[in-house]
Each structure stands twice: as C-alpha cells, then as structure tokens.
C-alpha cells in the first residue's frame, strides 16, 4: 500500500502497523502541511514534524506500535493529537480547529486518555535494580526537576512555592544510567518546597528511618548492597555511602567525571522542558489532587517518550 492510501487508513480507520514514513506524512497533513506542501527536503519535513510533536517520526513509530500492542483501541490520529497537546500545549479550542473536531469534551478526554496509557508503560520501560552491570561502580546521576503550575487555590500554602521561578510548582526526582542511554528512575509528584534529600530518603532526617517511605531511591540503593554509587549535587552530601558529590581533595579526573554526569542529567531536564506542557504553567486539574495526578500522568508519558527517544537514535551524550 502506498503512503497516500495508507494516510487515508490512518485518518478514517485503523491500522495494525505504522512506519516512520506514514507518521511523517500523516502527522504533517493533520497540522496543515498537505501533500503539495511536503514537496521539500526530507530534513525540513522532519523539523516541521518535531516542532509539532516532539521526537522525530521514527521515535513515535516505535512508541505508537508498542502502545497499540498494549492498547489496540488507540487510534494513531488520537495518539498524534495527544503528542501535539503535550508538545505545544494549546487550548482545547485551538486543538479543535487543528484536529477538525467540534466536541471539546472529546478532545479533552482523548488527549488525557492517550497520555495516561503512555504513562502506564513506565513500569515496562523505566527499570532500576537488575538493569545495572555488576562491574559498574558509579551507576546513575540523580537530581530533581521543578515544573511550573497554576496556583493551588483550594490549598494555598508555601509548600508549593518554587524558589527558582518564585511561583507555584511541582517537582520530581529522576535518575539516568551512566553506562547506557536509559532513564532508570522517576519519582513524584512532590510540592516544590520538599527538599531533594527528603525525597531521596523518603523522609526527614529527624524522623525514624523505619517511618520513611520505603519506595524511595535510598532504599532501592540499599537493596543493591555496597559498592554501588549514584552521582549528585551537594543536596545529597549527607548520604556519602550512596551518592558521591564533588568534594575538596578529589582528583581532577574524578571531578571532571562528576561534572559530566551532572551535566548529562541537566540535558534530560532540557528534554522534558522542550514540551510546552512542562515548560509553561500547567493549568489542568480543578482540585489539588486532580492537578497533581494529571501533572504526574503528563510527566510519566513524557518519561516514556524520552526513553523511546534515547533508544531510537537520540541518546544523551556518553560519559566515558
């Protein structure tokens, strides 16, 4: 089947398998680049696609095929619309015009439903524990990321205050493997005032360790045993048996290594904030609980998308 006929199947029906070429053609058609306007360099079309959907089409082809294996009812058009929402974060009325659907409730529910399904793939794609080589000593870089939100009007509190943006926000903890292109940990949602070390440990230093949240990264590291270390900034200096930080007296080579790991972690944060839904102020959710849940779903979906990005031609830079 040629691409033109395949495009019609994508728009009006359903398909069992989709290629990068299909996605590129159809994705551009949906956002206004009809067939005659696609008669340009391939690289220009790919850049257009990325501006509207985030990753290049080969990444989304891999993701969408796995998504349809798990959720056969997902239509490619709906998946593209959800990606367009995450990337550009337009309002429902703008999406209604672009995607030619007058029912705002349908758009609202569809983009969130697809994002929720993508986020559910985290448990298959984001793997800690046995995913590390037994010969590795420094296994991951860890840090937290702050994201802007509208104010929590039903729960006004300084706990939501983000000192970086001087406004309201939420934060998450991420860890990226050093030896391979993989996100191996994502935990959140947390109010921005929660300290990095409290998130890492699952509790406050003045609390008994038995009362800490045992799903925290601190306890996952304990399960690995001695001889394994993460790399972090000075926020983690109180757990030197688990996280190595830059300290006086370290060799030039070690300090350079730690610097590169932390810089690599920052490139992950940049990828998250290349999606306007996370770069801009998050406006969804009527209650505090709903806002946190929906934000967590979007972060989970983008975590999965970013991991597919790593695996399909766009990994973070190598440390060694």
Q: So what's the pLDDT on residue 198?
A: 97
Q: Residue 138: is its pLDDT beyond 80?
A: yes
Q: Residue 84: is its pLDDT beyond 50?
A: yes
Q: So what's the pLDDT on residue 12?
A: 40
Q: So what's the pLDDT on residue 16?
A: 62
Band of pLDDT at residue 225, cut at 50, 70 and 90: confident
Looking at the fold, whether 182 and 292 belong to one and the same domain comes out as yes
Tens digit of each residue's pLDDT (9 = 90 or more) over 143-161: 999 999 999 988 889 999 9
Q: Residue 207: is its pLDDT beyond 60?
A: yes
Say if 129 falls within a structural domain: yes
Q: Residue 296: is its pLDDT beyond 90?
A: yes
Of 68, 97, 120, which one is at a domain's C-terminal end?
120
Say if 316 falls within a structural domain: no
Higher pLDDT, 103 or 4: 103
Please compute the mean of the pLDDT values over residues 72-86 and round it to a whole number.
95
Q: So what's the pLDDT on residue 165?
A: 85
- Phi, psi for residue 319 in degrees, rounded to 5: -80, -45
Looking at the fold, whether 61 and 136 belong to one and the same domain comes out as no
Token digits of residue 221: 């590291």
Say if 31 falls within a structural domain: yes
Looking at the fold, whether 198 and 294 belong to one and the same domain comes out as yes
* Total domain count, the chain: 2
Looking at the fold, whether 170 and 260 belong to one and the same domain comes out as yes
Looking at the fold, whether 89 and 172 belong to one and the same domain comes out as no
Looking at the fold, whether 103 and 249 belong to one and the same domain comes out as no
Q: So what's the pLDDT on residue 6?
A: 46
Of 79, 95, 120, which one is at a domain's C-terminal end?
120
Looking at the fold, whether 178 and 303 belong to one and the same domain comes out as yes
Say if 319 falls within a structural domain: no
Q: So what's the pLDDT on residue 14?
A: 55
Say if 285 falls within a structural domain: yes
Q: Residue 212: is its pLDDT beyond 90?
A: yes
Structural domain containing residue 92? 3-120
Q: Residue 132: is its pLDDT beyond 90?
A: no
Please compute the mean of the pLDDT values over residues 163-180 and round it to a whole number.
93
Looking at the fold, whether 31 and 175 belong to one and the same domain comes out as no
For all residues of the chain together, what is the average pLDDT?
92
Looking at the fold, whether 137 and 208 belong to one and the same domain comes out as yes
Band of pLDDT at residue 11, cut at 50, 70 and 90: very low
Looking at the fold, whether 142 and 261 belong to one and the same domain comes out as yes
Band of pLDDT at residue 3, cut at 50, 70 and 90: very low
pTM assigned to the model: 0.93
Tens digit of each residue's pLDDT (9 = 90 or more) over 186-200: 999 999 999 999 999
Say if 317 falls within a structural domain: no
Looking at the fold, whether 81 and 44 belong to one and the same domain comes out as yes
Tens digit of each residue's pLDDT (9 = 90 or more) over 237-294: 999 999 999 999 999 999 999 999 999 999 999 999 999 999 999 999 999 999 999 9
Query: Which uninterrupted H or E stretch holds 113?
Result: helix 104-119
Least confident of 111-125, 155-169, 200-214, 289-303: 155-169
Please compute the mean of the pLDDT values over residues 98-111 and round it to a whole number.
93
Q: So what's the pLDDT on residue 8?
A: 44
Looking at the fold, whether 106 and 131 belong to one and the same domain comes out as no
Q: Residue 170: is its pLDDT beyond 90?
A: yes
Of 86, 120, 154, which one is at a domain's C-terminal end?
120
Say if 320 falls within a structural domain: no
Calculate what percentage of the chain has a pLDDT beyond 90: 85
Say if 300 falls within a structural domain: yes
């Amino acid at each position: 089947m040629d691409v033109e006929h395949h495009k019609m199947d994508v728009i009006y029906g359903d398909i069992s398998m989709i290629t990068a070429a299909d996605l590129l053609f159809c994705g551009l058609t949906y956002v206004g680049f009809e067939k005659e306007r696609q008669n340009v360099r391939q690289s220009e079309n790919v850049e257009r696609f990325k501006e509207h959907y985030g990753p290049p089409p080969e990444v989304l082809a891999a993701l969408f095929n796995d998504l349809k294996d798990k959720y056969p009812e997902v239509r490619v058009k709906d998946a593209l619309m959800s990606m367009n929402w995450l990337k550009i974060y337009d309002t429902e009325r703008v999406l209604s015009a672009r995607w030619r659907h007058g029912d705002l409730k349908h758009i609202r529910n569809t983009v969130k439903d697809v994002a929720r399904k993508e986020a559910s793939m985290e448990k298959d794609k984001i793997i800690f524990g046995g995913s590390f080589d037994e010969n590795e000593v420094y296994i991951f870089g860890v840090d937290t990321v702050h994201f802007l939100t509208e104010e929590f009007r039903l729960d006004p509190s300084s706990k939501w205050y983000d000192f970086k943006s001087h406004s309201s926000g939420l934060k998450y903890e991420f860890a990226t493997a050093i030896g391979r292109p993989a996100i191996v940990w994502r935990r959140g949602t947390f109010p921005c005032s929660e300290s990095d070390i409290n998130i890492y440990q699952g509790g406050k230093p003045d609390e008994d360790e038995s009362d800490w949240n045992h799903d925290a990264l601190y306890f996952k590291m304990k399960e690995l045993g001695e001889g394994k270390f993460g790399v972090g900034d000075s926020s983690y200096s109180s757990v030197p048996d688990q996280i190595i930080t830059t300290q006086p007296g370290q060799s030039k080579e070690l300090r350079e290594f730690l610097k590169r790991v932390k810089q690599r972690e920052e490139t992950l944060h940049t990828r998250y904030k290349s999606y306007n839904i996370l770069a801009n102020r998050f406006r969804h959710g009527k209650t505090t609980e709903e806002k946190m849940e929906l934000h967590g779903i979007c972060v989970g979906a983008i975590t999965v998308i970013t991991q597919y990005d790593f695996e399909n031609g766009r990994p973070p830079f190598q440390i060694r």
